[in-house]
Amino acid sequence: MPHKYTHTVKMPLRTLAKRCSRFTPLLAAPAALLLSQGEAKAVLTYNIFESAGNVVVQTSGSINLTGATQINTDSCGLNGYIESSAAEICTGKAVGRIPEYGIGGPQAFNGNVSITPASSVSGLQVVFAGKDGLFLIDPTYISNTPIVSSATFNGKTLATLGFTTTGLIGTWTLNGTSETIQVFLGPPDAAVPGPLPLLGAGAAFGWSRRLRKRIAAPVSTPPQA
């Protein structure tokens, strides 16, 4: 009498490859999304925050001056300052007159305090003047290289400098380019993946789990005589 039975066998590599290929397009889309997010253009960022009883303005990031037209040359006039009523910030060590370029965006921050000189500065001189629509940077700066610059205001608070909110308070665009300048009230934070990268990562993880389960699943052979 024929004996019917089933048994598990190892999946041949050819079959495994065929099954994996079915999932490749599904995994590729989230992966491409993650890569494109990592290649996002950097912006020049100003962070204004309280630290150890003082207010610190930290300038960081980079900017590409390609396409921007130099208007003139000018200087801070002071060795670092902030003016919330005119959306102006000067950080870094003064080097005399430096190139100025046009920018577009808000003409004031969320405060009404006039010029407050900095107690100390460090790094590359960078000047941001929202009301005048100007951006100035040390002539030795090379496009797309890191910008590190700061100004410290001893014994000050955000309130005494005219600031009342936190978070992003304005975005400006360097004329003739797609480069942007952003000003935040609050300290620099570690980069956190946005909703789209997280969604892509979640989708990739889910598909990879399903793929592993399919590969690990035993394959039943047809009844044998």
Listing DSSP states for the chain in one string gives -------EEPPPHHHHHHHHHHHHHHHHHHHHHHHHHHTPPP-EEEEEEEETTEEEEEEEE----TTPPEEEEE--SSSSEEEGGGTEEEES---SSEEEEEEES-S--S-----EE-SEEEES-EEEETTTTEEEE-TT--TTS-EEEEEEETT--TTTTT----EEEEEEEETTSS-EEEEEES--------HHHHHHHHHHHHHHHHHHHHHHS-EEPPP--
pLDDT in tens, 19-57: 545 544 444 444 444 434 443 455 899 999 999 999 999
Question: pLDDT: is 165 or 107 the higher one?
Answer: 107
Phi, psi (5° rounding) for residue 163? Answer: -100, 140
What is the per-residue pLDDT for 78?
85
Query: What's the rounded mean pLDDT across residues 190-200?
Result: 43
Average pLDDT over every residue of 165-194: 84
What residue type is 112 in one-letter code? N
- Is the pLDDT at 69 greater than 70? The verdict is yes
Which residues neighbour 109 within 8 Å (Cβ) at sequence distance 6 or greater?
84, 85, 87, 130, 162, 163, 169, 170, 183
Tally of CB atoms within 10 A around 165: 12
For residue 138, pLDDT beyond 60: yes
Span 173-179, average pLDDT? 95
pLDDT at residue 224, rounded to an integer? 54
% residues pLDDT > 70 (the chain): 65
Q: Count CB atoms within 10 A of the CB of residue 55.
A: 24
**Confidence (pLDDT) at 216:** 53
| Band of pLDDT at residue 76, cut at 50, 70 and 90 | confident
Structure-token pair, residue 110: 């969320």
pLDDT, residue 214, reads 55
pLDDT tens sequence across 87-124: 999 999 998 999 999 999 998 887 778 899 999 999 99
pLDDT of residue 192: 42
- The closest of 49, 64, 55 to 142, measured between CA atoms, is 64
93, burial (CB in 10 Å: exposed 0-12, middle 13-18, buried 19+): middle
- Mean pLDDT (whole number) for 7-12: 47
pLDDT at 142: 96
Mean predicted confidence (pLDDT) in 156-162:
91
Q: Average pLDDT over the chain, rounded to whole?
A: 77
**Higher pLDDT among residues 174 and 31, named by residue:** 174
For residue 43, give Cα distances in angstroms to 54, 57, 147, 200: 26, 16, 10, 23
Note the pLDDT of residue 156. Answer: 95
